[in-house]
């Protein structure tokens, strides 16, 4: 079987080792006589899978003991509401940074629950950069500060962590979690949809500091209360068990391959190589200010947009799939998450050079 290099922004590639292990265990996990998909989420077998997955994630990220790790459903989009519902805690204002499409969606949802102060916005630049760290001035009376470290659509990434002082910092890390080491203690809440670097779609990981749990807005649904899931070990309702299991396999794969330090170095090399190929060409261009370029999502345009469908057709024939840019920005986008091997990026760079030779 010939597998392609899938540059999708999500659902994204999974490591082949993980897929092979899941294949081998599909009909029967260990000696249980059943598939993980058939297990009771409260049974001993799945509880051991869930416990191991959390332990591995805590080890990989060095998550402090005063943080809960929740395995939820609803995607990052549900967190756009759950964050203000859980973190306003008697206040009526929150600070947000607006640096792309996902920031805008988070801001729009938060406005349903509180006064949103947009501390900085790069919309006028077409979301091609991030605000300077020194320019950020947060509200004294804000309940928290929210930002999106990496915008998958625009390919913009913060090269720094905002310093919010005593204000809890909330980060939508859907497209960067596990791509490199981070200091969890700098955040109040980290949340991420799984379908980029963690596993298949359907699972959402939330890492929340203990002191931010337990005081919700009046009328908050039970399922939207972090305390509900923290008390129940993410088992208040039937969780996405198979997605949780696959995420656990990814965590083990990361541990076998050097952890987040090693993954960060590989991701840095992949992105630098692809950006260098774009910058050295007169045929391709990237609109993002160099200091704010994403390691995970690399948008680029061709000198002649009329060649876009030709590029995509020929790339597909070469085994390079899902390179079409988001409909809101056009052009191309190569998402190069953890499971994308360096060989895949090298194959894309080689194809781009050949395409330029023939069409440039």
Specify if 139 maps to a domain.
Answer: yes
User: Does residue 27 sit in the same domain as residue 123?
Assistant: yes
> What pLDDT sits at residue 327?
83
Specify if 48 maps to a domain.
Answer: yes
Q: Which two tokens stand for residue 128?
A: 């091609």
Specify if 1 maps to a domain.
Answer: no
Is 211 an annotated catalytic residue? no
Task: Name the domain boundary from 256, 271, 298.
Answer: 256
User: Does residue 219 sit in the same domain as residue 331?
Assistant: no
User: Does residue 310 sit in the same domain as residue 232?
Assistant: no
User: Does residue 76 sit in the same domain as residue 152?
Assistant: yes
Is 196 an annotated catalytic residue? yes
CA distances from 68 to 64, 71, 197, 233 (A): 9, 10, 20, 9
Write the DSSP string, 40-91.
-TTSHHHHHHHHHHHHHHHHHHT--TTEEEEEESSHHHHHHHHHHHHH-TT-
Do residues 275 and 282 make contact, with C-beta atoms less than 8 angstroms apart?
Answer: no
User: Does residue 290 sit in the same domain as residue 237?
Assistant: no
Specify if 4 maps to a domain.
Answer: no
> What pLDDT sits at residue 289?
96
Is residue 185 scored above 70 in pLDDT? yes
Specify if 7 maps to a domain.
Answer: no
User: Does residue 108 sit in the same domain as residue 206?
Assistant: yes
Task: Name the domain boundary from 256, 286, 313.
Answer: 256
User: Does residue 135 sit in the same domain as residue 276?
Assistant: no
Q: What's the CATH number where 342 sits?
A: 3.90.1150.10
User: Does residue 205 sit in the same domain as residue 314?
Assistant: no
User: Does residue 154 sit in the same domain as residue 298?
Assistant: no
Q: Which position among 56, 95, 172, 225 bears the catalytic label?
A: 172
Is 102 an annotated catalytic residue? yes
Specify if 117 maps to a domain.
Answer: yes
Is residue 228 scored above 70 in pLDDT? yes
Specify if 3 maps to a domain.
Answer: no
Average pLDDT, the chain: 97
Q: Which position among 102, 244, 253, 295 bears the catalytic label?
A: 102
Task: Name the domain boundary from 190, 223, 256.
Answer: 256
Mean local confidence (pLDDT), 63-84:
98
Mean local confidence (pLDDT), 125-134:
95
Q: What's the CATH number where 226 sits?
A: 3.40.640.10
Task: Quote the number of domains for the chain.
Answer: 2
Is residue 236 scored above 80 in pLDDT? yes
User: Does residue 26 sit in the same domain as residue 50?
Assistant: yes
Specify if 153 maps to a domain.
Answer: yes
For residue range 265-286, list pLDDT tens digits in order: 999 999 999 999 999 999 999 9
Residue-number span of the structural domain to which 108 is assigned: 17-256
Q: Which position among 196, 225, 244, 253 bears the catalytic label?
A: 196
Mean local confidence (pLDDT), 298-318:
97
CA distances from 347 to 106, 316, 335, 350 (A): 36, 12, 14, 5
Alpha carbons 250 and 246: distance in angstroms, whole number: 6
Put the strands of the sheet holding 332-335 in their side by side order: 284-285, 297-302, 332-335
User: Does residue 181 sit in the same domain as residue 312?
Assistant: no
Is residue 262 scored above 80 in pLDDT? yes
Local structure of residue 345 (DSSP, 8 states): H
User: Does residue 244 sit in the same domain as residue 308?
Assistant: no
Listed in sequence order, the residues at least 6 apart from 117 whose beta carbon sits closer than 8 Å to its beta carbon are 93, 94, 95, 96, 139, 142
Alpha carbons 341 and 6: distance in angstroms, whole number: 10
Mean local confidence (pLDDT), 279-298:
97
């Amino acid at each position: 079987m010939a597998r392609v290099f899938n540059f999708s922004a999500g659902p994204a590639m999974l490591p082949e080792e993980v897929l092979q292990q899941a294949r081998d265990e599909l009909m029967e996990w260990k000696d249980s006589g059943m598939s993980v998909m058939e297990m009771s989420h409260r049974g001993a077998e799945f509880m051991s899978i869930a416990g191991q997955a959390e332990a591995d994630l805590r080890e990989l990220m060095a998550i402090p003991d005063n943080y809960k790790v929740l395995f939820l459903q609803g995607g990052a989009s549900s967190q756009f509401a759950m964050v203000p519902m859980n973190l306003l805690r008697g206040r009526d204002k929150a600070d947000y940074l607006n640096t792309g499409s996902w920031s805008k969606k988070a801001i729009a949802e938060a406005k349903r629950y509180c006064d949103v102060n947009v501390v900085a916005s790069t919309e006028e630049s077409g979301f091609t950069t991030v605000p300077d760290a020194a320019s950020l001035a947060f509200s004294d009376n804000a309940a928290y500060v929210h930002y999106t470290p990496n915008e998958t659509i625009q390919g913009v990434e913060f090269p720094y962590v905002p310093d919010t002082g005593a204000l809890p910092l909330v980060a939508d890390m859907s497209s960067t979690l596990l791509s490199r080491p981070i200091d969890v203690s700098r955040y109040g809440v980290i949340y991420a949809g799984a379908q980029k670097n963690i596993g298949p779609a359907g699972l959402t990981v939330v890492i929340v500091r203990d002191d931010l749990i337990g005081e919700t807005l009046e009328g908050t649904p039970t399922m939207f209360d972090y305390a509900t899931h923290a008390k129940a070990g993410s088992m208040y309702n039937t969780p996405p068990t198979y997605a949780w299991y696959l995420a656990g396999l990814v965590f083990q794969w990361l541990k076998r391959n050097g952890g987040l330090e090693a993954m960060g170095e590989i991701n840095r090399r992949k992105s630098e190589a692809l950006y260098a190929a774009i910058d050295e060409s007169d045929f391709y261009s990237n609109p993002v200010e160099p200091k704010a370029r994403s390691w995970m999502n690399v948008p680029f345009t061709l000198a002649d947009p009329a060649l876009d469908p030709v590029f995509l057709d020929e790339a597909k024939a070469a085994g390079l799939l899902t390179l079409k840019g988001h409909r809101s920005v056009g052009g191309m986008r190569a998402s190069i998450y953890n499971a994308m091997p360096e060989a895949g990026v090298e194959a894309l760079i080689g194809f781009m050079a050949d395409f330029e030779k023939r069409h440039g």
